[in-house]
Amino acid sequence: MSMQLDFNIQFLPDGGVVSAKGFLAGSARGEIKTHGDDVALIVSENPAIAAAVFTRNLVKAAPVLVCAEHAQSTQARAIIINAGNANCCTGEQGIRDARKMCELAATRLNCDDREVLVCSTGIIGHALSMNKIESALSQLEYSDDAAQNEKVARAVMTTDTRPKFCAASTSIDGKTVTVGGFIKGVGMIGPDMGALIPSTPHATLLCVLTTDAQFEKQALQSELENIVERTFNSVTVDGDTSTNDTAILLANGASGVLINSENSAQFRALLENVCTHLAREVARDGEGATKIITIKVLRARDESDAKKVAMTIANSPLVKTALFGNDPNWGRIAAAAGRSGANFDAQNLQIKLGDVEVFKNGEPTDFDLTQAEAVLKNEEVEIEVSLGAGGNVWTAWTCDFSYDYVKINAEYHT
């Protein structure tokens, strides 16, 4: 991305949630999922502030409601996450269990329960054993060792095939500022996340981000919401918005750099680069995926129209199955754009598969079929759609639909 050049952003080898100064992490096994660690703890050595966005699904898991409540607190110390059980549709007991998870972590850290945020992912509708959570926490050791970046990212996996984590740094006001994080999710991925005020939610997208920048709380929340819209809310595997989708950003100020109106663009570029990398990894690791698809919509009337077209194409089963079969069926792409609700003249529509222009000015081009098929055989495929209606753009990421996607989801509960 151009921002990397503009602000000299450097990705860190094996970077993750403990790459930013003052953050620790660890994981342990509570036997909630069938194998491996399944409880993770991310800790800020000093009180941090938290920004968070949550699923807009009306069916919200207990940890989403409790986490949203605690995220309103003036400071945060830790995030506790379990995998293997979503603690969703579990009634009042689920709420009590989510609060209990915060209490157990707070006791371990000698802080207030409200300073702990909580997330869960896994099967919906099953009670979550607090004995298993407590057992894992009693074994869990946390540190700032770089090995913890992969360890905690792996602990929160469900049907993911690999851990997804990264970190990047840049110089702001002469000091190094770092953003690190991990993400999980490969199915039930069609995030629609935003701020959630509690008085007013299986596989899931969960993301934890850390930074050593210093922020005012409302400014941090605003930065996260804006970046999530362009990254995590623009990635889809199957269009299914989870009951547990959550993204959290902790800022502890350990770098000594206060983010303000003069340097906020530098931090925004840093955060967007990290989130874009993580979003792409979700699409790349989509259930049964054989390729990652980038969809760029150009020349839209406004950003809303650009995103409508990008996400409608990205969520189209007909487009995604054609891509699995390496079939340059541009008609499915044109049809998806047309039903997206965006306002454009079909006579101005242009479609490219990689460098191959397949549709222009309302009719197909005389493109080379073999060349177009060759483009679609790559592990990374780019679709470019120009609407000819304005100057706005949007990028979305998805993957193809393979036979394995059906198999994985047909057998998931058992």
pLDDT at position 303: 97
pLDDT at residue 119 above 50? yes
pLDDT at position 411: 72
pLDDT digits (tens, 9 = 90+) for 382-399: 999 999 999 999 999 999
CATH number of the domain that 137 lies in?
3.60.70.12
pLDDT at position 5: 42
- Do 225 and 312 share a domain, yes or no? no
Given pLDDT bands bounded at 50, 70 and 90, which one contains residue 202? Answer: very low
- Do 366 and 275 share a domain, yes or no? no
- Do 219 and 343 share a domain, yes or no? no
- Do 115 and 254 share a domain, yes or no? yes
Residue span of the structural domain in which 169 resides: 2-283
Catalytic residue among 121, 204, 211, 241: 204
Given pLDDT bands bounded at 50, 70 and 90, which one contains residue 195? Answer: low
- Do 329 and 261 share a domain, yes or no? no
In the predicted model, what is the mean pLDDT of residues 278-290?
A: 89
- Do 97 and 41 share a domain, yes or no? yes
pLDDT at residue 410 above 80? no
Point out the domain boundary residue: 283, 315, 331: 283
Minimum mean pLDDT among 6-20, 66-80, 156-170, 394-408: which range?
A: 394-408
Point out the domain boundary residue: 264, 283, 302: 283
CATH number of the domain that 395 lies in?
3.10.20.340
Q: Is the pTM of this model over 0.75?
A: yes
In the predicted model, what is the mean pLDDT of residues 14-22?
A: 98
- Do 365 and 402 share a domain, yes or no? yes
pLDDT at residue 342 above 90? yes
Minimum mean pLDDT among 152-156, 158-162, 213-217, 361-365: which range?
A: 158-162
Count of domains forming the chain:
2
- Do 274 and 352 share a domain, yes or no? no
Give the integer Cα–Cα distance in Å for 400 and 167: 27
- pLDDT above 90: percentage of residues in the chain: 83
Query: How distant, in Å, are the alpha carbons of 7, 72, 96, 103, 129 from that of 108?
Result: 39, 22, 18, 9, 18
pLDDT at position 28: 98
- Do 275 and 380 share a domain, yes or no? no
Point out the domain boundary residue: 283, 304, 330: 283
- Do 368 and 327 share a domain, yes or no? yes
Given pLDDT bands bounded at 50, 70 and 90, which one contains residue 56? Answer: confident
401: left (phi over 0), alpha (psi -120 to 50) or beta: beta
For all residues of the chain together, what is the average pLDDT? Answer: 92
- Do 50 and 106 share a domain, yes or no? yes
In the predicted model, what is the mean pLDDT of residues 237-263?
A: 90
Q: Is 204 a catalytic residue?
A: yes
- Do 222 and 318 share a domain, yes or no? no
